[in-house]
Amino acid sequence: MAVKALDGLAEDALRAFLAWSPSSRLARRQLLHGWAEQLALVKDDLAQGMTRETGKPITLARGEVARAESTLQATLEALGTFGEEAVPYDLMAGAEGCRAVLRRFPVGPVLAITPFNFPVNLAMHKLAPALGAGCSVLWKPCPQAPRTSRLLWESFEAARIAAAAPVRLLQLAPPEPAEAELLAQDPRIAAISFTGSERVGRHLEHLLVGKRLLLELGGNAAVVVDEGVDAALVARQLAPAAVAGAGQSCSKAQRFYIHRNLWEAFVPAFVEAAKALPVGDPMDPATVVGPLIDEATALRVDEGLDRAVAAGATVLLRGKRQGALLPPAILADVPEEDPFVCEEVFSPLSVLVPVATFEEGLERAAATRFGLRASAYSRDLRHLRLAESKLRAGGVLLNLPPTFRLDAAPFGGVAASGNGFEGPRWALDSFTEGRLIVEGPAL
């Protein structure tokens, strides 16, 4: 797209913002409520399109669309209490006769950049709170699901027209990274919300110094499993967290630190639980593990498995790759410096490591630059409390897999996994700025 056309997108976003930002919370809720009604009309088409374009198993795709509906509803609920907070000036010396409120104002036009692995729900986590906050939005969806993204946008447009909201309130931005960079640097764009890889997120940080930049980046979630737990039960809970949707989730369970006293019971239970999950045609409702996003990605992971084995890793489970379809793989004895341990694998791969104590497991789990999600399983409450303090991550799950998420709750990372929280109530903070309003005594 020509620079002139990009300039037009930014200018339209600014005009829409100036028209929308004075709107009442009631008007914003009515718009989002209308979107919820339109979303319900196309939810089956969205799920089918997502599966065809990204390979996400159809049952998971339907679940994602249902989650997007939940995210939109949570935004509507959050708007009911968001916007103004009383400040107790009457309790502060020197402020006699004064009253004060901390009021939130929309920050300006927002550029939202979303990934392929959750093309509908992760988009909703940005779009609905930004629009509800009073911002206009330029949305750069993933290039891998263009029809799905356009259908979601069209459902909003139908609601916008019905609500007589400003034109171009939500615009589709071009999918090319270079053009998104130009838009992000445009002074009319007030905030950029990005979900994607650590590499691109760090690039944006250097590119956009001084801009409001919200980052939800990658992870390599660890799970620490203590002795004394039910090995089979925990294995059945963790296997889908490691491989469902081909493991293409930033919070997928990747590294497993298993107490030595549980190792002999847990390993075969986990292998069997992973083997039991159906692999294959993503249009089959029974499928849990579908293809990776493309064959090149699957080939790269498969070659990485060969590399790890050559470096001394033991294969506990591995199947034959068929194009983009890579069956679950489970390794032990993987060197600590191997990318399968240090980096985000974003595939149906798991690394199992025996540890002498639960505390050792926590230390090794925390030895990462990432900090999105981490889990610990134990029957010892003291160990669970220790995990809370030792596992540095935006979300620490106790006796739950790292993929466990409620869309109305905060979700975000620390360190190399990003900054801030999504979840509608917390995203509203990100798309607004506070203004302390103080009124003195009557004159």
Residue 91 identity (one-letter amino acid) = L
Burial class (CB in 10 A: 0-12, 13-18, 19+), 349: buried
Angle at 262 between CA 257 and CA 264, to 5 degrees: 105
Closest CA to 340 of 320, 377, 313: 313
Angle at 403 between CA 427 and CA 74, to 5 degrees: 35
Closest CA to 125 of 373, 434, 431: 431
Residue in this structure with the two tokens 């083997």, named with its chain if needed: 275
CA distance 218 to 70: 24
CA distance 187 to 197: 24
Catalytic residue annotation: 216, 250
Closest CA to 402 of 199, 237, 178, 229: 237
